[in-house]
Structure 1
Amino acid sequence: MNKLRWSFVLGLFVLLMYGNAHSYAREIAIISHKDYPSGTITAAKVKEIYLGEKIAEGTVKIKPMEQNDESIKKRFIEKVMGSSVDAYKAYWIKKFFQEGITPPTAKTSSSDLIQAITQTNGGIGYVWSDDVKGDVKVLLKIDVGN
């Protein structure tokens, strides 16, 4: 009987640990102005936008925005862009000086970014999924782990 009790306790412990680990997984939401011409977007298209390669969606000029918050910025750059923060910054310095293209506009917080997107036709950005509020369109959610 004692062996059965320990098996039950161990099984319960494993379930609780797995459940807690899974519940902390985070998602980044790619959001846009409510009138953005597309209802969805792929991670590959997001990468093109944030590399300055895709600048319009139909007749709408895309205005990418990003966050100064290092935790979400690092996850976004690593997971979506497939790069390090330093390499991404170096890319934009080179692009700015060689082609005159400006990098995405930086906002101080999710709420600032959401507010700017609601006021900017063609605005697109990224926030934690649980921060999405207001009159924005969620184009894509990306699991970035814990």
Structure 2
Amino acid sequence: MTVFSQLSRTLLALALSLPALAMAGDVIVISHSSLNMPAGDIRDAYIGEKQIEGGTKLVIFDNAALQKDFLDKVVQVDSAKYSSIWTKKGFREGLNPPAVKATDAEVIAAVKSTPGAVGYVSKAPADVKVVKKF
């Protein structure tokens, strides 16, 4: 095998791995400034097990752009299982799944304007409360 051939294979392998590397970024859970949510309660809030924090009803937002990473890193389920959890919660307890926002900007705007709100973004601005970075 020539040096050129080895280099070509190495570059091809690197190029194929770049999309996966680009997708795996930080997931930062944020909350409304008035909410004091412990980081240990994030998963429970996102699967409907925790609905109130400090007397405030939680309002949970999903971020469509980061949902796969969030589910993998934080909730530790795939999207099919997550949907199943919320379908069961809807039938059994009458709960609605988290509202889905399309972008970080939409999640940030919703969290800032909604008391009890929790969401996740890739980069948090200075004017929101960071609950935990994953």
Report the TM-score, using the length of structure 2 for normalisation. 0.78
Show CA shifts across 1:3-60 (max 9, x none): xxxxxxxxxxxxxxxxxx9x9662111100111134x522xx1110001111111111
Within the candidate set 57, 62, 65, 1:61 is matched to 57
Match of 2:45 in 1: 49
**C-alpha spacing 1:134/1:119, structure 2 compared with 1 (3 Å):** farther
- Give yes or no for contact 1:110–1:127 (8 Å, CA) kept in 2: yes
Task: Tell me which structure has the larger Cα radius of gyration.
Answer: 1
Q: Distance in 2 between matches of 1:99 and 1:59?
A: 20
Report the AA paired with residue 132 of structure 1. A
Aligned-pair identity (%): 32
Match of 1:90 in 2: 84
1:130-145 alignment to 2 at 5 Å? 131-133=123-125, 135-142=127-134
Deviation at 1:101, TM superposition (A): 0.5
Q: Distance in 2 between matches of 1:140 and 1:124?
A: 11
Within the candidate set 60, 74, 77, 2:71 is matched to 77
Deviation at 1:97, TM superposition (A): 1.8
Match of 1:34 in 2: 33
Report the AA paired with residue 138 of structure 1. V
Show CA shifts across 1:92-136 (max 9, x none): 1121122210111111111001001000000001111xx212521
Within the candidate set 105, 109, 112, 2:103 is matched to 109
Deviation at 1:64, TM superposition (A): 0.8
Q: Distance in 1 between matches of 2:94 and 2:53?
A: 21
Report the AA paired with residue 105 of structure 2. S
Unaligned runs of 5+ in 2: 1-17
**Number of equivalenced pairs:** 115
Match of 2:107, SS state, is helix
- Give yes or no for contact 1:114–1:134 (8 Å, CA) kept in 2: no
Report the AA paired with residue 88 of structure 1. Y
Match of 2:85, SS state, is helix
Larger strand proportion of the pair: 1
CA RMSD of aligned residues (A): 2.0
Match of 2:34, SS state, is coil
Report the TM-score, using the length of structure 1 for normalisation. 0.72
TM superposition outliers: structure 1 runs of 4+ over 3 Å: none
Deviates more, 1:23-32 or 1:116-125: 23-32
